[in-house]
Structure 1
């Protein structure tokens, strides 16, 4: 079973997600869902990717 990873949310979310996964040395993963996340501090919506870390 994999681990769900909540990735940072920004407009270039997919590239940022891939960069984050690489920086964390996570090599076996699947980007499987793009979601919209509301940031109450900024009062804006952001796109985010959720990834599954394959063990």
Structure 2
């Protein structure tokens, strides 16, 4: 019974860290998508100004 407590704790830590990693990657991905959209808008505006 004593070892099963360690096993349960190890699983909890593993899945906790996995969840934190996935959330971190997801947030970074969202931030990069917003940055790409902003840069595309800025590029379009610059191209429009240069073509005049």
Which category of TM-score, normalised to the shorter sequence, fits these structures? under 0.3
Q: Which has the higher strand share?
A: 1
Point out the structure with max Rg over C-alpha. Answer: 2
What's the TM-score once normalised by structure 2's chain length?
A: 0.28
Q: Which has the higher helix share?
A: 2
What's the TM-score once normalised by structure 1's chain length?
A: 0.26
